[in-house]
Structures are given as structure tokens and as C-alpha cells.
Amino acid sequence: MKYSVILTDGAADYPVPELDGKTPFEVAKKPCIDALAKKSELGMLHVTPDGCKGGSEIGNLCVMGYDPRVYLTGRSPLEARSLGIEMSETDLALRCNLVTLSADNDKTPDKYMTITYIAKNNTFVLMPYLPNAVIDGGNTIKQICEQSGEAEVAKLLSSKTGLSINKYIRFTKSTLTELFDMVGNTTLTVPSEIKYENKKDNTVTIIKQGTQIFTAEQMYAYLTLPDYGVKDELYPCKLNATVISSFIDQNFIGTSSKTLDDYINFIINFTNTNIEQSDYDAKVKAIVYTLSQNKSSVTDFYIPYGDKSGDDYIIDDNSWNSAKKALGTG
């Protein structure tokens, strides 16, 4: 008889207050494990001898039938042997963990948008901005963010639009994809087929025309394609707004308090944001009530850009005044 021994080493973890006292393993999506559990005999087994400290090397030895009080040598010789390395009694094996640090968090964002709730219309207004849009003193949004940070961008956009914008969330590829994955698939309508050829790595991305279900990875790829085959320079900005609007409308409008708590906890704990838990706690009842009505809507609003200067778009006073009038803040 052949059988497999699978050790989810360390998966138990510890209860986390932010997860309502549950462990990350308890709240994680694990459909395969859940399916196996329904068809299995479940129980608890204590394999570590009294007096031995719990750990991977001791636990694995015990599961394989070896007494750690006799055979324990530490992790390094075990891993060396698993790699087929022959060791003598005088050899020393060192085990090291290698960590890759990503520069993802250090990159200046290249996509910007605000979302504001306007109570009198029961509407969430999503406004995308081009990173090369000049909004203050000849500086683009991206330059201001790079020099002074997201809080300064929020402050300037608030003063320009007349909307209350004082909080920000900065997503990286990993955190945005993880949020998409946590929320679930989203249905989007692609207006025309997109074919993008990446000459750097000789790959081709094809997104079919029509209504279809997007996974987290597909959503991120759709949002970040360098070229959509459309001459309109504002097209990527408008597309981003349409996609995010659909994402919010399908997954946040009508959501439950518990589900919303999970999303907000993720944003507070894993993204670069100035939203504090106390901010959410103070407004959670109003937020949940608004979202649960299923009458709220998400609409896109585009700032009318003025003249173009080189590669930059100018948002002049006339554009801002026009936006304020349309938003009812002027």
C-alpha cells in the first residue's frame, strides 16, 4: 500500500485579534483541504516526546518513526541528506533562509483615482487621473506623489475638486492581486479583442471580446497592459475606471458587515494607507448601511483635460471649475 504523509508545518499559527480571534489558517480560502476534510477521519495526534521542544525537525523525525532523543542532529544534516549530499562525522552543514526583497513598494504609482460617496445622489463617484496630469505649479500627479507622497496628492485633489479626500490607499501588484483574489472573480465586458505582443520576453496576451469572468491575475493583467491597440491616450485611464467601478459594484455594494471587515482589515494591515482601524470603526455602521441598501451606484467621472504640454496634460482652472459644477461642489 502506498500513501502520502503531508505535513502543513506551521500552518496552525496563532489567533489574531484583527481576525476576530481566528488564525490565518482558519480564515484562509482552502477548498481542497476542506473537501478532503469532509471525506476523512479527523483527530489529534501527539507525536513529540515529553521534554522535547516542538519544531519542524523534531516533528518530522517523530512522524517518520525516529526518536528525536536519539537521532536529532538539527535541520541542516537532514536537509543535506535529502539533497543527496553525503556527510562524514567531521562535516558541518549550515542551513540558511534566503529572502528576496521586492522593490515593488518603492515604485511611484502610475495609476491614480479617487472614489467619493455623494450622499444626496446615493452615488460613489470614481475619478481616474492620468499620472502625467499637471495639477499644481507645473507638477504632475506622479511628480507630486514622488516628491511629497500620497497624502499631498489627496490634499491637492480635495482642494481642486471640492470633494472631501483625506485618505489614501496605495496598492502594489501583490496587494491588489491579493485583494482581487480575496474578493473573488469579477465579470467584465471587453469592448473589442485586445492582442498585446511583449517583444522583451516574446509573449502574447490576448483578451477576447465580450462579457467574461476575470480571475485576480487576469484582472491585474487587463488593468496594466502597456498597449490596448487604441490611439486615444485617455483610453487606459477610462478603462481602469470602468474595471474598478464594476469590481466595486459587484463585490462591495450589498456586502455584509463581516465580509467588509475582512476587506478593510486586509487594506489596513497589508497596504500603504493612512486609514486607521479607528477611522473604520467610527464609520462602519454608516458604511455598512449605505452598501447594504443595494440602491447605491458607482459612476465614473472624468476631469475635462485642457491643453497638452509635451507629454503632460494640463488641468487648468476652467477644467476644475467645470468638474466642480458637474459634481455639485462649485
Is 113 exposed, middle or buried, given 0-12, 13-18 or 19+ CB atoms closer than 10 A? middle
- The neighbouring-strand residues paired with 214 are 186
Distance of CA 75 to the CA centre of its chain: 35
- The neighbouring-strand residues paired with 113 are 128
Spans in the chain with pLDDT lower than 70: 98-106, 293-296
3-state secondary structure of 58: helix
Integer Cα distance of 114 and 129 in angstroms: 8
Summarised one tens digit per residue, pLDDT across range 49-90 is 887 777 777 888 888 888 988 888 777 887 888 888 888 888
Tell me the CB-side half-sphere exposure of residue 322, using CA atoms within 13 A: 11
pLDDT score of 308 = 82
**Residue 270 contacts residue 164 (beta carbons within 8 Å):** no
pTM of the model: 0.63
Q: Where are the domains of the chain?
A: 1-99, 104-327
**Residue 199 contacts residue 191 (beta carbons within 8 Å):** no
Is 177 exposed, middle or buried, given 0-12, 13-18 or 19+ CB atoms closer than 10 A? middle
pLDDT score of 140 = 92
Q: Provide the CATH number for the domain formed by 104-327 in this structure.
A: 3.40.630.190
Summarised one tens digit per residue, pLDDT across range 183-204 is 888 899 998 888 888 877 788 8
The DSSP code sequence of 186-233 is: EEEEESS-EEEEETTTTEEEEE-SEEEEE-HHHHHHHHT-S--S-S-T
Question: 253, 243, 300: which is closest to 127 by C-alpha?
Answer: 300
Integer Cα distance of 58 and 67 in angstroms: 9
**Residue 219 contacts residue 251 (beta carbons within 8 Å):** no
